Structure 1
Amino acid sequence: MNQEVGQEKTQGPEEVAWRVPGRVEVLGKHTDYAGGPVLVGAVDRAITAHARRARGPQSSLTATTDGGDPITLRAGVDPALEPGHWGHYLQTVLDRLTLNFGAGAAAHVSVSSDLPPASGMSSSSALVCATALALASLNGWDRDPRWIEAMPDRLPLAGYLAAVEGGRSWRDLPGTSGVGTHGGSEDHTGMLCGAQDRLLLAGFDPMRIDQSLPFPSQWALVIGVSGVLAHKTGAALEDYNRGPSTVQSVLARWNRATGRADASLAGAVRHLVGDATGEQMAKDPALRDLLGLCEPGYERERIEQFLIESLVLVPAGARLIAAADPGIGEVLERSQALADRGLRNQVPQTRLMASLARGMGAIGASSFGAGWGGSVYALVPADDAKDFASRWLQAYRDREQEAERAATIVTRPGPGACRLL
């Protein structure tokens, strides 16, 4: 009887919907999972998950997407879907929430989206967040004392949802297998904590938002979707996870060599040079102790990319954008070059889009997201944004034969996730 009463107290509504936007990473390429800073904001395209109670066994759901075949999932049961299927993200959410908060009501989830898939705007993380938030509201889990203690506001909620996707524990809530990517919390922070016309300067060791910066009213973001799908399965998943695994290998080597227990590469860097940033810090001789532990080639170039991006480019970019200073263009061009050389995650199409944008007079341009496809953004005068978007897309299509999926989106930083029902 007491258990039934307790369940009744946390029971949620008959139906609920959550809208979760994609995000644009302005600076901070692959820095978040190393504890480093990012400059990120939400966009005005989103995924919406509409959940309602249904007949069926506990912790089960049926799900549909725009024009897609329905799927049926049960917690703890392999859905036997092909690699990369969107249902794997829902299965991860269902398994994790059931493990952390107990059996939930049978549900039907319908997913709709105007966010281009596999485009670098993190549609996969938006799908995880929207589904998790809808199921948590439907079952009253978001009023459970365990939920409130672990996620008292939106920033730790972003951390938890990132842990759901990555398969990591969050505080006292144990993890499951995740979706297979070993990323950080940048995407979820932008999606959950984003604000209209603001960019977030966030860090991840510890997880925090250092500043909320105004995005210049006279500028617009034009996002160019390259049409190359940024898949995270098979060899592409291995490529993506190479970055995080390299960072973890160097960090483990550092901790063994020094007897320290730094939780992130950013923590090791902070131990060596303090909290100061800038070009001089990135060249500080103290960093040789860390770089000396890196193997030549990809490993050293990857760590050098992290140092310059996090110590120089992110802080400088934040200052320049807040001041509407066109000098941001040089920062973005350097970040793009470092991604190519250090992360090795660019493809000819993203290189072409960034180069075309600069040549057409953009204030600055850079690719963003995981890489191996995806999108490029351009900073342009707001009055010229629509015309620029059209000309940029046409110029890209004139030079890229396989550009049928390419598109451009004119946007500004927008608000974070919101509950609709």
Structure 2
Amino acid sequence: MSQHSAWFVPGRIEVLGKHTDYAAGRSLVCASSQGITLRGRAIDEPVVRVRSDAASDMVEIGLRQEPVDRRGHWSGYPAAVVARLVRNFGDAVGGAEVEVTSTLPLASGMSSSSAMIVGLARVLIDLGDIESSELFKRNICSIEDYAHYLACIENGQTFKELEGHMGVGTFGGSQDHTAIMCSHQDQLSQFSFCPTRREADIDFPSDYSFVVAVSGVLAEKSGQARELYNRASLATTEIVKLWNQATGRSDVYLNQAVQSSPQAPAQLREIVAGREYLPQRLEQFLVEAHEVVPGASAALRDGDLAAFGQIVDRSQYYSEHYLGNQVPETVYLQASARRLGASAASAFGAGFGGSVWALVPSAQAEDFAQRWLSDYRQAYPEPGQRAAALVTRPGPSAHRL
């Protein structure tokens, strides 16, 4: 059994696939070159202590501690990891002290929270030698399985034999954890979900980079942002419920219903017609998962950046007007990036704040970042004080150090 474990865990960029994963849709993603580093050591106390350079306080979680609602505090993420691993693997989970350092902006839409969950889980699993257990090996048979299980730590769902727990209070999918654990350097990857399947890997243009503008509007999944996030998620569940009532089927995910027959999309539109929000949510899912993501992958594979940019603009439009997860600041940043010459640009992540990516030639990336931020700060001076920009390319997946 190891006494020490260290991991680098990247953030992720959701290139396309806005709120599609938990409905069994598809996404186009990559890992970022920025991320968090976790260094853990085993201790002879029934407690996990986590210190982060991004927070002033230390989190201490008892291994047998009753779960408490930590809404709005970063401690909810490590607490969810500890509680779930203890529930699933019992005494194999031991005490630990973990130091976390980060080059990933918090609450930026780059999945710093999911990176924390992935990293802390991997450290504790290493220290407890949990991967060698029969229970682990029976249930986690691939890296995609592994990512899905770690997503279930966050959303609280059961994974095969591994019983669910309370999670962090969001009803999300496994896109972020899949991007963090399954991405390839210098490539974008197209995945479908529920179950997780790698559909394609597309080479990223060698002379281009992503510039990511962090809006300064915090995208923490707590308070009102969490309620709005969950509305987008639970709407897909409500559509499936209405569909099953109308058809006698027993589908679990929206995409199962969509793909059940060629007539299914039209039937679904009839079923949700006239209801609040559901028609827009359905339309956004159909366009994003079945037209935007595969179309963008094909354009990028063909090297057609003009077509890629137009497809990405369509995704942004449906996000603003149908999904409803954008705020004025991210709407402005996306339009500003295109006006300043980006080949493509889109808001990404859960929404309700967060970040926007822009695709630009690498040689111009730093200059573009400064012009983009300057333009944004003139339009939105208050969040502009907290805004930042970074340059990244598709990086490697999470790995031991």
TM range (shorter): over 0.9
**Separation (CA, whole Å) in 1 of partners of 2:264 and 2:61:** 52
Q: Confirm or deny that 1:359 pairs with 2:339.
A: yes
Aligned to 1:293, what secondary structure does the other structure show? Answer: helix
Report how far residue 34 of structure 1 moved.
0.6
**Separation (CA, whole Å) in 2 of partners of 1:338 and 1:416:** 30
Aligned pairs for 1:228-243 (under 5 A) are: 228-243=217-232
Cα 1:286–1:89 change in 2 (3 A) is closer
Report how far residue 68 of structure 1 moved.
2.1
Residue of structure 1 aligned with 2:50, choices 50, 63, 68 = 63
Report how far residue 13 of structure 1 moved.
0.9
Cα 1:224–1:97 change in 2 (3 A) is same
| Counterpart position of 1:97 | 85
**Separation (CA, whole Å) in 1 of partners of 2:69 and 2:98:** 17
Q: Is the 8 A contact 1:128 1:161 kept in 2?
A: yes
Aligned pairs for 1:37-186 (under 5 A) are: 37-57=26-46, 60-66=47-53, 68-78=56-66, 83-103=71-91, 104-186=93-175
Return the letter of the residue paired with 1:65. S
Q: Is the 8 A contact 1:368 1:374 kept in 2?
A: yes
**Separation (CA, whole Å) in 1 of partners of 2:85 and 2:69:** 20
Report how far residue 286 of structure 1 moved.
4.6
Q: Is the 8 A contact 1:197 1:413 kept in 2?
A: yes
Q: Is the 8 A contact 2:330 2:354 kept in 1?
A: yes
Return the letter of the residue paired with 1:64. R
Cα 1:357–1:307 change in 2 (3 A) is same
| Counterpart position of 1:293 | 271
Q: Is the 8 A contact 1:73 1:79 kept in 2?
A: no
Deviations 1:204-261 (A, max 9, x none): 1332001111111122111111111102112221110001111001101112221212
| Counterpart position of 1:338 | 318
**Separation (CA, whole Å) in 2 of partners of 1:71 and 1:39:** 34
Aligned to 1:202, what secondary structure does the other structure show? Answer: strand
| Counterpart position of 2:378 | 398
Q: Is the 8 A contact 2:31 2:394 kept in 1?
A: yes
Return the letter of the residue paired with 1:288. A
Answer with 289-298 or 132-141: which moved more: 289-298
Deviations 1:9-62 (A, max 9, x none): xxx2111111111100111110111100100110011112211111312xx211
TM-score, with structure 2 as normaliser: 0.96
**Separation (CA, whole Å) in 1 of partners of 2:66 and 2:74:** 14
| Counterpart position of 2:253 | 264
Q: Is the 8 A contact 2:110 2:349 kept in 1?
A: yes
Aligned to 1:414, what secondary structure does the other structure show? Answer: coil
| Counterpart position of 2:358 | 378
Gaps of 5+ in 1: 1-11, 274-284
Aligned to 1:262, what secondary structure does the other structure show? Answer: coil
Answer with 285-294 or 70-79: which moved more: 70-79
Aligned to 2:381, what secondary structure does the other structure show? Answer: coil
Aligned to 1:48, what secondary structure does the other structure show? Answer: strand
Deviations 1:132-171 (A, max 9, x none): 0000001101221211221122111000000110000001
Return the letter of the residue paired with 2:396. P
Residue of structure 2 aligned with 1:315, choices 294, 297, 300 = 294
**Separation (CA, whole Å) in 2 of partners of 1:76 and 1:252:** 37
Q: Is the 8 A contact 1:39 1:314 kept in 2?
A: yes
Q: Is the 8 A contact 1:53 1:108 kept in 2?
A: yes
Return the letter of the residue paired with 1:417. A
**Separation (CA, whole Å) in 1 of partners of 2:388 and 2:178:** 26
Report how far residue 74 of structure 1 moved.
1.1
Aligned to 1:263, what secondary structure does the other structure show? Answer: coil
| Equivalences, count | 396
**Separation (CA, whole Å) in 1 of partners of 2:87 and 2:178:** 23
| Counterpart position of 1:5 | none
| Counterpart position of 1:27 | 16
Aligned to 2:260, what secondary structure does the other structure show? Answer: helix
Residue of structure 1 aligned with 2:348, choices 368, 387, 394 = 368
**Separation (CA, whole Å) in 2 of partners of 1:52 and 1:174:** 27
| CA RMSD, Structure 1 to Structure 2 (Å) | 1.4
**Separation (CA, whole Å) in 2 of partners of 1:364 and 1:213:** 16
Residue of structure 2 aligned with 1:324, choices 303, 307, 315 = 303
Aligned to 1:101, what secondary structure does the other structure show? Answer: helix
Return the letter of the residue paired with 2:56. G
**Separation (CA, whole Å) in 2 of partners of 1:155 and 1:286:** 29
Aligned pairs for 1:6-25 (under 5 A) are: 12-25=1-14
Q: Confirm or deny that 1:214 pairs with 2:203.
A: yes
Q: Is the 8 A contact 1:346 1:373 kept in 2?
A: yes
Q: Is the 8 A contact 2:257 2:264 kept in 1?
A: no
